Amino acid sequence: MDDLLESILDYVRSDYTDYAIMINGEWGSGKTYFWNNRIKQKIESLKLNGKRYRTIYMSLYGISNLEDISKKIFIETTQLMDKNLKRYMATHEQTAIPEYAKTGLDMANFFGVSSNGEKVDYEEFFATDDKVLCFDDLERANVDVIDILGYINNFVEHDHIKTIIICNEKELATKIKNENLEMKTFIATYLLDKQGELNNNDLPMIEKIKDRIENVFERTNDYERIKEKLIGETFEYAPKFDYIINGILMRYESNKTLIKFLRENAGSIMSTFNRSGTRNLRILKQALNDFKKIYEMTDKFFPNTNKVVMQTMLIFTIAVSFEIKAGKITKEKFRNIENNEEYKAILVSSRVLMDNRQFYIKEFDSNYYYNFKADYRFFKFIEYYVRTRIFDMKMFKKDMEDAELASSGERNIPAYKKILVEEYWKIPDSKFFDIVYEALNDVRSGKLELIDIVKLYVYYVYFSKNNLISYNLKTLKEDFIAGMNLSVVHSKYFPNVDEELERISVYNDSSSDVQEVMDTFHKLNNELLEKGYELKADEIFKCIPMKMEQFYQTFDKECMDIPIFKYIDAYQMFQRISCASNEDIVIIKEKMNKRAELHPEVVSQERSNMRLLKQIINDYLKGKDTTIKIVILKGFVDDLENIYG
């Protein structure tokens, strides 16, 4: 960094220049920090020809027209400020005006409020040999880059003002290439069609359009031409991250225990940062800010947390932050992993059954926890906090209690979980058969949840094929199917079945034995779903007519997208509706119409039962004198006809 700084100062010291210099580096790598804390101070300490240099810094982030740049330069030119502002800045050691204040000054000058009768020193104002302009965030401006560089060239070529441009050229190239891409694609397609090349199969269509866009609209050459004219030297910003990270940690000096912990784990912070494959210090700063809250909450509610758990939380916070915020994955990648147990089950499956569908999770774990041993290494509350910015206390306490139990060595892990979650190869050979036998007994007796039995079966097939166990596969299949039939009595319906079973490579084995177990699982799981719907139907329709508010609330929240009317007794339903008030019958009818409109897919499953209800009501209405209730019930039947036919 010292060599780079000295090269920049050599440019500033030069008597005559007709070019600018560029500092190129990745987003978040600390370029602006380097300007504010090193370059600016050094330049403003220079005194040449009896004059001190002044820097004028402008971020181009969000600039939408060239006039905005002129305004920024005007505001930054402090000799145009009134005495009060100068005095305030000197008293408070303020070296730059906040952006919101610049807006106010701009308007004040416009209305002539802040002149204070002060005259402009034009000799000082027109002087250019003591000023250094710095334009930052070139790639983030909302103005054509070529236009901005042409604008800057006026200062450099005509006024010979020392000018420094800070940018990320990689992102700049992408921006130039993607400008007005939709319009470019349309015109390129039109030209190809006119020239009769659209239906020519010599090249893929996408490639043709891409080539034509480059031929017609290529702006990269324009950029290179003006850059060659404007930029004399380009410096690559490659910071010493260990030095910068040490400076970042200094902001936590006020919390003695936190800074002590961070300094003790500076190696892990640096290692995790390097393993992210980015150079984005901005993300690291945010991750450490997030960890500060995590550390303080842990210190408050779980003060005796194991040191290894705290180290793992630090690594995980930084790792998840980079994976999500650097755009390496979508925010949804971890969404369906509910806890550390599920995370470890995925790892075991991907390693044992060679499931490439979980490649990302395996790579994440291998990368960030390389040579770091921790039993508990997925914290749902941290992932959720980074992804949503919400610190969920319930998730936090659950994670911390589980992590505490895992680190204490006091938990009694069931045999089946040692196979599904705990990496079976770590089990001593002397205990392996006992664990396999114990888990199989739990299966046979139906003690386990249905979903765990089917997952466990895949591992037993794997063990058998690799001669780790000597059970006959046919007998094993029969034991598991019998256990599943017993398990269904107490098991809960499991949603998202395909997603869950894909996680553990169930579909990697297409043998008839595995398929038979899978078919049994799906059949029993669907029975659990039906059973759940029956209970829900019984629960909700008992609210009619005495607990209508509860009926409405439950119907709206839980029954809109499930075929709840399939599971009612049509005769009992009629009795309850006929006892309800006229107003409630109308509201029920309206809710049914809205539901059919929003979720037509559930209607077909309810049709036969609801047609029976319609017939029962029609039979009741025959020969009845007209009353308001009768009219309302006829309207109810008409709507049933419209919905169910």
Q: Establish if 282 belongs to a structural domain.
A: yes
For the residues 483-496, what does the mean pLDDT come to?
90
Regarding predicted confidence, which is higher, 192 or 102? Answer: 192
- Are 136 and 67 contained in the same domain? yes
Residue type, 44: E
For the residues 308-316, what does the mean pLDDT come to?
95
- Are 166 and 190 contained in the same domain? no
Round to whole Å and give the CA distance between 255 and 251. 9
For the residues 131-141, what does the mean pLDDT come to?
90
pLDDT surpassing 70 at residue 135: yes
For the residues 320-327, what does the mean pLDDT come to?
87
- Are 42 and 57 contained in the same domain? yes
Between 155-159, 168-172, 352-356, 608-612, the lowest mean confidence (pLDDT) is in 352-356
Confidence of residue 134 (pLDDT cuts 50, 70, 90): very high
User: What pLDDT does residue 130 have?
Assistant: 80
Q: Establish if 617 belongs to a structural domain.
A: yes
User: What pLDDT does residue 209 have?
Assistant: 66
56 sits in which H/E element: strand 54-59
Q: Establish if 426 belongs to a structural domain.
A: no
Which of 500, 527, 554 is where one domain is finished? 527
133 DSSP β-pair partners:
56, 163
User: What pLDDT does residue 119 have?
Assistant: 46
- Are 459 and 594 contained in the same domain? no
Q: Please give the backbone phi and psi of residue 133, each rounded to the nearest 5 degrees, phi first.
A: -90, 140
Sign of the dihedral through C-alpha 178, 184, 189, 191:
negative
- Are 26 and 123 contained in the same domain? yes
- Are 287 and 332 contained in the same domain? yes
- Are 162 and 195 contained in the same domain? no
User: What pLDDT does residue 187 have?
Assistant: 65
Closest CA to 58 of 126, 133, 142: 133
Sign of the dihedral through C-alpha 365, 369, 370, 375:
negative
User: 622-645 pLDDT, tens per residue?
Assistant: 988 999 999 999 999 999 999 988
Round to whole Å and give the CA distance between 181 and 183. 5
Between 5-9, 215-219, 297-301, 376-380, the lowest mean confidence (pLDDT) is in 215-219
Q: Establish if 330 belongs to a structural domain.
A: yes
- Are 68 and 109 contained in the same domain? yes
Which of 176, 203, 226 is where one domain is finished? 176
Between 193-202, 258-267, 282-291, 397-406, the lowest mean confidence (pLDDT) is in 193-202
Q: Establish if 510 belongs to a structural domain.
A: yes
Confidence of residue 481 (pLDDT cuts 50, 70, 90): very high
Which of 152, 176, 200 is where one domain is finished? 176
CATH number at residue 158: 3.40.50
Sign of the dihedral through C-alpha 572, 575, 579, 580:
positive
pLDDT surpassing 50 at residue 120: no
User: 31-65 pLDDT, tens per residue?
Assistant: 888 898 889 999 999 887 778 888 888 888 888 88
- Are 314 and 405 contained in the same domain? yes
Report long-range pairs for 584-593 (Cβ below 8 Å, ≥24 apart): 584/544, 584/545, 584/548, 585/632, 585/633, 585/636, 586/632, 586/635, 587/548, 587/552, 588/544, 588/636, 589/635, 589/636, 589/639, 591/552, 591/555, 591/556, 592/639, 592/640, 592/643, 593/639, 593/642, 593/643
Q: Establish if 63 belongs to a structural domain.
A: yes
Q: Establish if 500 belongs to a structural domain.
A: yes
- Are 487 and 571 contained in the same domain? no
Report long-range pairs for 596-601 (Cβ below 8 Å, ≥24 apart): 596/643, 598/560, 598/561, 599/560, 599/561
Domain that holds residue 203: 181-215
State the SS3 of 408-430: HCCCCCCHHHHHHCCCHHHCCHH
* C-alpha dist (Å) from residue 282 to 28, 29, 124, 172, 245: 5, 7, 38, 19, 11
10 sits in which H/E element: helix 2-13
User: What pLDDT does residue 139 have?
Assistant: 87
Q: Establish if 234 belongs to a structural domain.
A: no
Between 25-29, 252-256, 579-583, the lowest mean confidence (pLDDT) is in 25-29
Domain count, the chain: 5
User: 503-557 pLDDT, tens per residue?
Assistant: 655 445 567 778 888 899 999 999 999 999 999 999 999 999 999 999 999 999 9
- Are 275 and 368 contained in the same domain? yes
Confidence of residue 351 (pLDDT cuts 50, 70, 90): confident
- Are 477 and 406 contained in the same domain? no
User: What pLDDT does residue 611 have?
Assistant: 93
Round to whole Å and give the CA distance between 198 and 204. 10
Regarding predicted confidence, which is higher, 498 or 533? Answer: 533
